[in-house]
Amino acid sequence: MTADRKRVDTLVLGAGAAGLAAARDLSQAGLRVTVIEARPRIGGRILTRHDPGVPVPLELGAEFIHGEAPETFAVARAAGLGVLEIPDLHEIVASGRFMPMRDFFGAIDKMNRDLARRVAQRGKDFPVSEYLDSAHLPPLRRSMLKRFVEGFYAAHTERISAQSLAEEASNGGEEEIREDKQFRIANGNDALMQWLRDGLDPERTQVRLSTIAQLVSWKRGNVSVECIGGDGAPLEVLHARSAIITLPAALLKAGGGGGGGLRFAPAVPAKQRALAGLEVGHVFKIVLRFREAFWEPPDFLKQRRANGDSNTRGLNFLHATGGGVEIPTWWTSLPVRSPLLTGWVGGVVAETLLAEEPLSRLERSLVALSEVLAVPRRELEEQLDAWASHDWRADPFSRGAYSYIGVGGNGAPRALARPVEGTLFFAGESTNGEEIGTVAGALSSGRRAARELLRARR
């Protein structure tokens, strides 16, 4: 069979949220689509495990819906999935004492508004670290804001754009942060991905797993993709009239620099210029399963809360202050009660932890949790049943957790998303400046790329 006979309408590179959303829309519009996925599974940076020992899924990748993100909620409703609103219970931990963190997201909103004013006064971008170092902030507030930026954006404060955060206050982007709401998919985020895959028209769509795209050769109206299998053996060259690229920014950056990522022939310099404005964030996340939820009894909370409140709503988010606790943010599975605790840290500390061996990361996690909960480390180890983590930085098909905008890079997501000669289209969370780093951003970017492709065919 000739290459032209085997050519499909579109190749979609990546079977994460963006790729599956694009492929679903295109196949339902009547196009013949082949999805190429390097991993032996779908989902990309969504990685859900189901442990029969606990009533909630374990999310080793993306976990939360930040605010009432329309795209994610639309998929959840269509798929018949349960969505759980997470109680807004944030507490500061200092010296083994828990104190309510009132108006947590209000403090973030104030920082963003301050950044907007400073950007307007200067007329140019600058790193968020400059604000944190120069603003007249109480030490506790400064520490909390720094930890938030490092954790939420997986960012280095000296690299992340102040303007990118300022725009959240000035134009309504990331509205969900100010709305002070977070949610989880009760069935697990993998259920979102499975619904997208199940909606692919089986007569028009093929999903090729363990197929690693290495080179995209293209000219207007024609794309060829060279791939290898999971064992490194060459696979047949795939042909299409167009392609949607949904791979993480880290892989696109690596390809442009000869670092083993996806390459284009001819090269697309405009995309490398756009990628230069984006940074790749790293996080360390660990899920610990204990034999019982020892933090739930009223006496446990009463002993640790400064006001002696046992609060039957229980614990949700704990934020350690200062720099002494290596993993400062922990959360439970509320509103569902389970024996799970999740630890999280981003930025420089995450990179330091990821350089350690897995057992060393576990040990350091237990030490940090011991400090946060004021429970002897030995008791935690005795209670520990199992643990799970995934190193996204070392994962060859992600090379990082998610993207954020670097100083001077506020036009980068839009530039990266721009189609090339009606033939190459780009999607993924890194192409969505308003929802960068989120599943919602990935979903909406995939649908946007599908619309662009369909318009280009008219």
pLDDT at site 176? 41
The residue ranges of the chain whose pLDDT is under 70 are 1-5, 169-180, 257-258, 308-312, 322
pLDDT at site 319? 93
Rounded Cα gap, residues 126 and 167, in angstroms: 13
Residues 6+ apart with CB under 8 A from 3: 224, 237, 239
Residue 143: CB atoms within 10 Å: 19
Q: pLDDT of 107-137, one tens digit each?
A: 888 899 999 999 999 999 999 999 999 988 8
Give the DSSP per-residue string, 184-234: EETT-HHHHHHHHHHTS-TTTEEEE-SEEEEEEEEETTEEEEEEEETTS-B
Q: pLDDT of 19-51, one tens digit each?
A: 999 999 999 999 999 999 999 999 999 999 999
pLDDT at site 5? 57
pLDDT at site 258? 65
Among 78, 83, 66, smallest CA distance to 447 is for 78
The CATH T-level fold of domain 3-45+189-280+398-456 is FAD/NAD(P)-binding domain (3.50.50)
For the whole model, what pTM was predicted? 0.94
Q: pLDDT of 174-204, one tens digit each?
A: 444 444 689 999 999 999 999 999 999 999 9
> Is 301 in a helix, a strand, or coil?
helix
Q: Which two tokens stand for residue 276?
A: 């230069």
Burial of 274 (C-beta count, 10 Å sphere; 0-12/13-18/19+)? buried
pLDDT at site 177? 42
Contact 35, 440 (CB under 8 A): no
Rounded Cα gap, residues 243 and 30, in angstroms: 16
Rounded Cα gap, residues 417 and 419, in angstroms: 6
